[in-house]
Amino acid sequence: MPASWNKEYNPALLAEKIESTRKVSDDGKIRFEGLGFKEFAALLYSMLNFTQDIPEIDLRQIVSKAIFNSGAKGIITAKSLLAEVNKLEQEYQKLSTQRYVLVSSISIDPSLELHKIHLGNKLIVFEKSLPIRFKQEAGNLLRDAEQSLFANPPANYMQVRVHVSAKSIHDGAKQALETLDFVRGVWNWAYNRRHFIRETWGGKPKPVNQIILGPIHTLHNNNGYLAATNNWWYEPSYLGAIQTLNPKRDEIDGIYNALNHVRKKFETHKYSDSIKEAFIRYTRALDERNWSIAFLKLWSILELLTDTIGTSYETTIKRASYIYEERDYHLQVLEHLRKYRNSSIHFDKDNSEMETYLYQIKNYVEALIGFHINNRLGFESIQETASFLNLPYDKEVINRQIEKLSFAKKFHGFSK
């Protein structure tokens, strides 16, 4: 499906504004007067609904190029802008894919042996040291990249390479990081579920996750040479290395078994993409050293898993509590978390009990992820599952509704 206008905006007004700054030089080149071009491009991006699976940074480049292309052909209008965006999208989709390799590090003891992970056409390789060409090329770029860090890079993390097929360097980096974060999400979920509470005394706030990424990621071709010679990707939440995880063999088997369990479930799952998104957002939330930010990110995942984005918080906590036997108690806990969520947003309120709050909401998100993975009733979508969570909890109320539905069948003459 081609891109379309978001009905909340009037693109004709923006097109007129852009056209008013368009100038054509004597040699026929297009330029735009003033400092407004970046604002125009950002606003145009927001005005469009994109349906193609293209990384955001590539889409923004498409939008900027569409403005120049439209201006080169004549007067810029909303129609000409949309036509150029769709044309450039089609050209992007026709690009051939090539193999890229993202190089990063992960907070696991490098002396351990972790076997490779194949996810479709993607491959994750864990190793104590990178192959020589990758090491040399990454090292050249890391010396520049590390100048922008707020803390020293880790010295004892395991190295990791993620092999993907993509149409651009940005597409390659996005795919690789999402693949790696999905695996980390499942692994951290398996570890974090064991810990219902934590109490930290002094020092820097620690992330909940025990498996986090190093701060810098570089992108290479299959031969090890840099594919992006002036670009690197980084972790904005990185504030220093954490203690490397050194699990026993049975613990390693446990996190691999958890990943295999999830992958097995995904083979027949009706909405596995939504659960994969939840895992990625879950692990990124719990990478945060700022517990207030981590809390708010987890609350947004709670809304995703209860399909209550944009609805009332009362519905969110009602659905989140539905899977528990002691539902009334959990309603109270979730209500207390809702009140903290609102106060932290509207009054910039912090709390010495933030770590407790964070672990409480973490526990609910983890339980809901598990509920969705199992999907025992075979629901077709996250929306259908969430509507189940909205059903009555009381046995008598359920029986009355069943009776009413039975009467409705008879009333309309349905025999089965």
Q: pLDDT tens digits, the chain, 416 residues: what are they?
A: 899 999 999 999 999 999 999 998 888 888 898 878 999 999 999 999 998 788 898 999 999 999 999 999 999 999 999 999 999 999 999 999 999 999 999 999 999 999 999 999 999 999 999 999 999 999 888 888 887 788 888 999 999 999 999 999 999 999 999 999 999 999 999 999 998 778 787 777 899 999 999 999 999 999 999 998 888 998 888 888 999 999 999 999 999 999 999 999 999 999 999 999 999 999 999 999 999 999 999 999 999 999 999 888 999 999 999 999 999 999 999 999 998 888 765 555 555 688 899 999 999 999 999 999 998 888 999 999 999 999 888 888 778 887 877 877 777 778 76
- The 8-class DSSP code of residue 206 comes to P
**Strands 122-127 and 158-166: what pairing?**
antiparallel
Q: Name the residue ranges covered by the structural domains of the chain.
A: 4-94, 98-264, 291-396
Max Cα-Cα span within the chain: 82
- The 8-class DSSP code of residue 376 comes to T
- H or E segment and range at residue 383: helix 382-388
Are 23 and 107 a contacting pair, CB within 8 Å? no
Q: How far apart are the two ends of the chain, measured CA to CA in Å?
A: 40
Distances (CA, A) of 393 to 120, 208, 295: 40, 33, 28
Angle at 111 between CA 107 and CA 112, to 5 degrees: 75
Backbone dihedral angles phi then psi of residue 100, each to the nearest 5 degrees? -125, 160
Q: Encoding tokens for residue 125? A: 């390789």
Cβ burial, residue 263 (10 Å; 0-12/13-18/19+):
middle
DSSP string, 216-273: EEEEEETTSSBSSSS--EE-TT--S--PPB---HHHHHHHHHHHHHHHHHHTT-TTHH
